[in-house]
Structures are given as C-alpha cells and as structure tokens.
Amino acid sequence: MSDMFMSVDPNQLFMLNLVAMVMLPIITWFITGDIPATLTVLVIIILLPAFIYRSIRNKRLKRFELQLPDGLAMISGAMRAGASLNIALEGMVKEQPAPLSQEFELFLKEQRLGVEFEVSLKNMEQRIPIQDFNMLVTALLINREVGGNLAETMETLGETLRRKEMMEGKIQGLTAQGRLQGIVMTGLPIFLGFLLNFMEPEAMSKLWTTTIGWIVLTIIIIMEAIGYFIINKITSIDV
C-alpha cells in the first residue's frame, strides 16, 4: 500500500479482517441457519481483501497509463522551450493530477537526495510495472548513455502511447459483449442454485449433506472456473 501512497496501518486492517472472519459468519449462521450461506460469507471475507487491493492497484495503474501521454507531451513542450529534464518534470508534477504527479514527485525527491538517476528510474519502474512506462524508462536510459534529442523522443513516445490507448479502447468496446456473456454464464448457475435452495431446501440439501453432493459441487465449481477462464482468455486481446 505504500507503493500506492496509502497511509493506512496494515496491522489495523489485518485485525479488522480477522474480526470480520469470525463475526460475520456467526451472524449469518444465526440469521439463516444455512451452512452453505455461512461458508459462502466466510470465503468472501477471506478473498475480499486481496480482491480490493488488486482492484485499487489496477485502477491506479490504469489512471497512470492514461495520464502518461499528456505528461510526456508537457515534458516535451517544456524541453523544446529550453528547460532541462528536471525542470520539465517539476512543471509536469505541478500541472498533472495523481498518480502521475505522485510518482514523478517521488522521483524528483530521490534526485534531490542524491540518488543516482538510473536507480531512481528502476525504483519507479518497480512501483509502476506496466509496459508503457517500461518504454519510457528504456528511452531515458538510452538517451542518458548515447544522447540525442530527448524532447523529440518524448513527443514521439507520447503520440505512440496515445494511439495505442485509442486502439485498446476500440478493442474493449468490441469485446465488451463477450466479457458480459462470460460473467452472466458464470453467475447464472450460482444464482439458480441459491434460488432453488430457498425454494426447495429439502431437495437441494442433498448437495450439502451427502458425499455425492459434494462431489457434484466440486465438479460444478471446476467447470465454472474453466469456462470463465476460457471466455476471459478469448476476450482478452493484448495490444
């Protein structure tokens, strides 16, 4: 979380998660008296923190990726006007919102403290593990070694990333229906299972109380996971 500039105590979050893992399943059991519902709540609470963390991190990286072309255009414009790289970065940090400004501000602070340019870039690359930023890091390192027109390189890279973003947007729009179908087809059997459990609890109880029932549930879960994975793989196109 420190890589995402979140000033949250992880120990407190861990304790809250432990309390939720104990209390919420107990409350669910007293309210419903249903073992599957209680186990479902327990599994959700166990998986929820990692899911929330990945979701926040992915959204932050996506915002950084979207802001990067504009940031490169600002840096290129400032350098064409005669500013050095550090001054151009400082101007970009003042104008751009987070997370782009946060990451480059930390980069500049490391530079002021005497950290080597390459080390600061590598630290930033570890915090931002995306392909677009790796291209920027490579361009800066090559320019650092062999020289060249860095302003033109920044401008070209920014334009390339902007066109890549437009292409990804078109692909996302074309594959949206397939992704929705995958979610619906995966969630429909689960929804029907819960619905039938409330409508016909005696008939459905054999799934939770017999060995054959647990085997059937295991097969269903495996097949659901495989189906969703295949659909998600088909609709995920890397540009």
pLDDT of residue 1: 73
**pLDDT at residue 71, rounded to an integer:** 92
Q: Taking 70 as the threshold, does the pLDDT of residue 238 lie above it?
A: no
Q: What is the mean pLDDT of residues 37-62?
A: 87
Residue 17, pLDDT score:
86
Of 64-68, 201-205, 222-226, give the lowest mean pLDDT range: 201-205
Q: What is the pLDDT of residues 87-101, one digit of tens each?
A: 999 999 998 898 999
- Alpha-carbon span 129 to 92, nearest angstrom: 21
Cα 221 to chain center, whole Å?
25
Mean pLDDT across the chain: 86
Residue 68 has pLDDT above 60, yes or no: yes
| pLDDT tens column, 168-213 | 888 877 788 788 888 888 888 888 888 888 888 888 888 878 888 8
Burial label, 41 (beta-carbon count in 10 A; 0-12, 13-18, 19+):
buried
Name the 3-class secondary structure at 33.
Answer: coil
Q: Could you check whether the bond before residue 99 is cis, i.e. omega within 30 degrees of 0?
A: yes
Tokens 């490169």 belong to residue: 72
The closest of 226, 224, 214, 213 to 191, measured between CA atoms, is 224
Domain positions in the chain are 67-160, 175-239
Cβ neighbours of 119 (radius 10 Å): 11
What pLDDT was estimated at residue 239? 57
For residues 74 and 88, give the distance between their C-alpha atoms in angstroms, rounded to a whole number.
8
